[in-house]
């Protein structure tokens, strides 16, 4: 295989047109190409007067070529998995988000047939429950945007960007593509599946796992754990299930499960997390700021990633959703939680993103569960501020910066359902959060002209960007209770779909490698 880097393309080309262009440029014969694929595609918009696509392409070429500085590469090969597990007892996976799904998939593809428990519904029913809350304010606390098949990321655009560096990331992308995700996720610089596509991908994964012997229990909550002599021997759902291996892929909103584990003496520690709000702008404004108005390329809705470092705190954008919607994401009664979602086309009128401020362990109490208390108070205060009817509290940016209640909605219309209430978010946000948000918004306006525009909207509150605690585990992924494997975002080892899926694979590999 040979690799071509930095292929600059200044027009929209089909795959056939792209490879023809490369052959002409490098004086290659199309008929001699045995295989080729796009490794990476990104947009270089640093010069608004000359925006172009930047490609990396790998090719297997059967013929002579004269290329200066050509890079020869080998096809990536994953290490062979040696299965040492010989236990006749089936592992139990708690949670059907990316960590649980990829853990179960890895186990079942290597001959180990797990049982997967999910307190929420299968995806089709879950969609109805999410819509019922958005339309009629009827919240199902067991199945909602936080809980159910696919996990919390299902209703957040299916973003696959990550800060981790692991060869398993490619494995995750390939699996998603295998089960129906668009092929572009394999090479786009910022891949996303889209909530509309992700729903079908998850169903296909479930059916495949079942075909290999996996077993799913939906709408069955694990209420307790059976622990004897420092080892887990079972779990309690609708009945008792006995096992020697339990994977805790429970997600960051499984608060009652964290409390139950704490009662059993599972070692935990508090960790830093973040809270804040959602900000909405017109997508067209973001497009013009990022791309200008000159280019003729058919570019996707523009994204942004922003960070502000203050004297004591940082403010940053998170889970930016081009052409998306602010979603009602509560999982507990009398609370307001927001998140963002986009479908694959990202063709909504507004862009939205979380704007978050870091909360330090020094801001919390002594208990490892004190971060949960911090989140809960903010969510309940937002519920009251919004009118105690699941309306979200919203505020124009101009009013937020001037610490006054908003009295009208301007050019940017809110996308949150079931409804919104004009308010002053300064009334509920901790002072260090509101002051850092203000500094960040003003700073971000220097990066994206119009970011601090008067009519941009803030919706409160965003509190579930990451887990506020970590369940301590050793190098074999086991906590202080033998056989109990904390896994993914909830126990504090991931921060998004990609990293959670990778952690699920790694956890499964540890289980497969254990000789028991």
Domain ranges of the chain: 2-72, 92-267+472-513, 272-462
pLDDT value, residue 75: 67
pLDDT value, residue 68: 66
Query: Which H or E element spans position 486?
Result: strand 484-486
Question: Per-residue pLDDT for 78 more than 90?
Answer: no
pLDDT value, residue 326: 98
pLDDT value, residue 69: 59
The pLDDT of 287-312, averaged and rounded, is 96
Over the stretch 451-474, which tens digit does the pLDDT of each residue have? 999 999 999 999 999 999 999 999
Among 229, 232, 227, 265, which residue's Cα sits nearest to residue 92? 232
Q: Give the CATH number of domain 2-72.
A: 3.30.70.2700
Q: Return the higher-pLDDT residue of 241 and 74.
A: 241
The pTM score is 0.95
Distance, in Å, from the CA atom of 464 to the CA atom of 466, rounded to the nearest integer, reads 5
Question: Per-residue pLDDT for 70 more than 80?
Answer: no
pLDDT value, residue 368: 98
Please, are residues 198 and 154 in contact by the beta-carbon 8 Å criterion? yes
Distance, in Å, from the CA atom of 82 to the CA atom of 270, rounded to the nearest integer, reads 35
Handedness of CA 94, 97, 99, 104 (dihedral sign): positive
- What DSSP letter does each residue of 245-275 carry, written as one string? -EEE---TT-HHHHHHHHHTT--EEE--EEE
Question: Per-residue pLDDT for 304 more than 70?
Answer: yes
Residues forming a β-bridge with 462: 276
- Percent of the chain at pLDDT exceeding 70: 98
Over the stretch 111-157, which tens digit does the pLDDT of each residue have? 999 999 999 999 999 999 999 999 999 999 999 999 999 999 898 88
Residue 228: Cβ within 10 Å count? 8
pLDDT value, residue 64: 79
The pLDDT of 209-227, averaged and rounded, is 98
- CATH 3.40.50.800 assigned to domain 92-267+472-513? The reply is no
Determine the straight-line distance between the first and last CA of the chain, rounded to whole angstroms: 42
| DSSP-derived secondary structure letter, 482 | B
> E-strand spans in 426-477?
457-462, 469-471
Over the stretch 153-169, which tens digit does the pLDDT of each residue have? 898 888 898 889 898 99
Distance, in Å, from the CA atom of 199 to the CA atom of 125, rounded to the nearest integer, reads 11
pLDDT value, residue 65: 73
Distance, in Å, from the CA atom of 318 to the CA atom of 304, rounded to the nearest integer, reads 9
Over the stretch 41-56, which tens digit does the pLDDT of each residue have? 999 999 999 999 999 9
Instruction: Number of helices (H) and strands (E) in the chain: give both, helices first.
Output: 11, 23
Over the stretch 312-321, which tens digit does the pLDDT of each residue have? 899 999 999 9
Q: Which pLDDT band holds residue 82 (cuts at 50, 70, 90)?
A: confident
Cα distances (angstroms) measured from residue 185 to each of 324, 353, 489: 19, 21, 22
pLDDT value, residue 385: 98
Q: Return the higher-pLDDT residue of 73 and 102.
A: 102
pLDDT value, residue 134: 97
Please, are residues 346 and 323 in contact by the beta-carbon 8 Å criterion? yes
Question: Per-residue pLDDT for 180 more than 80?
Answer: yes
**Residue spans of alpha helices (H) in 75-232:** 98-108, 123-136, 168-178, 195-211
The pLDDT of 426-452, averaged and rounded, is 98
Question: Per-residue pLDDT for 341 more than 90?
Answer: yes
pLDDT value, residue 76: 64
Q: Which own/partner pairs from 10-18 qualify as long-range (CB within 8 Å, at least 24 positions apart)?
A: 10/50, 10/51, 10/52, 10/53, 10/297, 11/296, 11/297, 12/297, 12/298, 18/55, 18/57
Four-CA torsion 317, 321, 325, 329, nearest 10 degrees: -60
pLDDT value, residue 122: 98
Please, are residues 253 and 259 in contact by the beta-carbon 8 Å criterion? no
- Percent of the chain at pLDDT exceeding 90: 91
């Amino acid at each position: 295989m040979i690799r071509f880097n930095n292929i600059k393309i200044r027009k929209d080309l089909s795959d056939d047109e792209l490879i023809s262009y490369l052959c002409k440029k490098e004086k290659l014969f199309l008929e001699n190409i045995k295989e080729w694929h796009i490794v990476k595609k990104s947009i270089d918009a640093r010069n608004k007067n000359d925006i172009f696509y930047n490609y990396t392409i790998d090719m297997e070429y059967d013929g002579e070529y004269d290329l200066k500085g050509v890079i020869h590469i080998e096809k990536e090969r994953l290490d062979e998995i040696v299965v040492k597990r010989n236990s006749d007892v089936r592992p139990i996976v708690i949670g059907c988000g990316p960590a649980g799904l990829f853990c179960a998939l890895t186990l079942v593809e290597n001959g180990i047939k797990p049982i997967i428990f999910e307190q929420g519904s299968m995806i089709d029913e879950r969609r109805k429950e999410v819509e019922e809350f958005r339309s009629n304010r009827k919240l199902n606390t067991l199945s909602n945007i936080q809980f159910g098949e696919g996990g919390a990321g299902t209703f957040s655009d299916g973003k696959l960007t990550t800060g981790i560096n692991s060869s398993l990331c490619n494995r995750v992308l390939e699996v998603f593509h295998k089960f129906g995700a668009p092929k572009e996720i394999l090479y786009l610089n910022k891949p996303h599946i889209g909530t509309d596509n992700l729903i079908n991908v998850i169903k296909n994964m479930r059916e495949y796992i079942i075909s290999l012997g996996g077993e799913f229990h939906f709408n069955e909550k694990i209420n307790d754990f059976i622990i004897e002599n420092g080892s887990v021997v079972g779990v309690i759902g609708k009945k008792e299930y006995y096992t020697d291996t339990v994977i805790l892929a429970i997600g960051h909103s499984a608060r009652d499960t964290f409390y139950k584990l704490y009662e059993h003496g599972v070692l935990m520690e508090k960790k830093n997390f973040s809270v804040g709000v959602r900000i909405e702008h017109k997508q067209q404004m973001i497009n013009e700021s990022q791309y200008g108005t000159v280019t003729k390329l058919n570019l996707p809705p523009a994204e942004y990633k922003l960070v502000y470092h203050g004297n004591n705190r940082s403010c940053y954008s998170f889970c930016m959703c081009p052409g998306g919607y602010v979603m009602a994401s509560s999982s507990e009664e009398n609370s307001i939680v927001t998140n963002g979602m986009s479908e694959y086309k990202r063709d909504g009128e507004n862009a939205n993103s979380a704007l978050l401020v870091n909360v330090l362990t020094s801001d919390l109490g002594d208990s490892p569960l004190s971060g949960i208390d911090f989140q809960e108070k903010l969510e309940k205060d937002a519920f009251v501020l919004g009118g105690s009817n699941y309306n979200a509290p919203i505020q124009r940016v101009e009013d937020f910066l001037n610490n006054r209640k908003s009295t009208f909605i301007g050019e940017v219309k809110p996308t949150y359902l079931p409804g919104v209430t004009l308010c002053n978010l300064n009334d509920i946000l901790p002072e260090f959060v509101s002051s850092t948000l203000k500094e960040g918004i003003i700073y971000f306006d220097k990066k994206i002209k119009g970011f601090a525009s008067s009519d941009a909207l803030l919706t409160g509150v965003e509190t579930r960007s990451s887990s506020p605690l970590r369940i301590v585990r050793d190098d074999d992924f086991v906590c202080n209770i033998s056989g109990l494997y904390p896994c993914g975002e909830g126990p504090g080892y991931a921060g998004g779909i990609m990293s959670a899926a990778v952690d699920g694979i790694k956890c499964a590999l540890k289980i497969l490698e254990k000789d028991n």
